[in-house]
Amino acid sequence: MILITGGRGAVANQLLTLLHADGRAVRVGSGRPGKLELPADVAGVACDLTAPSTFPTALAGVSSVFLYAEAASISEFVSAATEAGVEHIVLLSSSAVLDPDADANPVAKSHLDAERGLADAPMTVSVLRPGAFAGNARSWAWSIRTGAPINLPYPNAYVDPIHEIDVAAAAYALLTKPEHRGETHHLTGPETLTFTEQIDRVAEITGRAIVIEQVTPAAWQQQVADYMPAKYADGLLDYWRRTDGVPNQLTDTVARLTGRAPRTFTNWLEENSAEFTG
């Protein structure tokens, strides 16, 4: 039995599709299991990664876990997983942990603390460190649909957008094959693009004119204050500042794990263009 945590997330949903199609026994955990939309033969279970009381039932009979990076109760999760006889954990971390100042960056530190919590775990641990998800482009959808400008503090900051399906495919490979287990894997998309280049592609795919307005970091932080804690906004701004005009280093990890080249940002846009056109 494989437990997928963070069951309402994009990667978890894609992973479920792959495992279910392969006939694997799967259980999906979520802090809000009633909100899960699952195949009829897949069970949902309460698994709140900040609430250790939910761990024993979620882990009963489980041999492998796809684990969302939540460090709050990671030691309790390891203890419960050990008692349940879990043999393998695949952790969804982030390439943000590669930041030399990761401990000072809240975005990076939250993932790094989860990795540290698994460092001495008795079971095999595999770590996935993807870069920016292609799906992050959804944050521009409202502006594009309404014709409003997209406000960016660093329009020439580079990212390496990776399709969520490729992250799920990498997790699937680690969960179903013995090769490369127990290793740490840095995942990127096949291209490093600036925000401006990404938005140009959105305009090309949707046929819409899109205006980019460069704003100060302080102004951007104020605009997102209602839904993003200041410490996480600070972490993103620090990252974008460092990658402003500096392309990301790409890896071949997706191809090595899955046997196929990673999907491009354009592939993702073609599949999701309706989100930008209404």
Write the CB contacts of 180 (distance below 8 Å, at least 6 apart in sequence).
126, 173, 174, 256, 257
Angle between helices 265-272 and 195-206 (to 10 degrees): 40
Q: What number does CATH give the domain 2-130?
A: 3.40.50.720
Expressed in angstroms, the distance from the first to the final Cα of the chain is 40
Host H or E run for residue 128: strand 124-130
Distance CA 79, CA 55 (A): 10
3-state secondary structure 185-231: EEECCCCCEEHHHHHHHHHHHHCCCCCEEECCHHHHHHHCCCCCCHH
Domain boundaries, the chain: 2-130
What pLDDT is attached to residue 106?
87
Q: Say if CB 8 and CB 31 are below 8 A apart.
A: no
C-alpha torsion sign, points 110, 49, 36, 58: positive
Give 64-81 as a DSSP string: EEEEE---TTHHHHHHHH
What pLDDT is attached to residue 231?
87
In this structure, are strands 150-152 and 158-159 parallel, antiparallel, or unpaired?
unpaired
What pLDDT is attached to residue 134?
97
Distance CA 209, CA 204 (A): 9
pTM exceeds 0.75, yes or no:
yes
What pLDDT is attached to residue 162?
98
Distance CA 98, CA 117 (A): 17
Give 54-120 as a DSSP string: GHHHHHTT-SEEEEE---TTHHHHHHHHHHHT--EEEEE--GGGGSTTGGG-HHHHHHHHHHHHHTT
C-alpha torsion sign, points 189, 190, 192, 197: negative
| pLDDT < 50: residue spans in the chain | none
pLDDT tens column, 17-58: 999 999 999 999 999 999 999 999 999 999 999 999 999 999
Cα dihedral 220→224→230→236 (10° resolution): -60
What pLDDT is attached to residue 151?
97
What pLDDT is attached to residue 235?
87
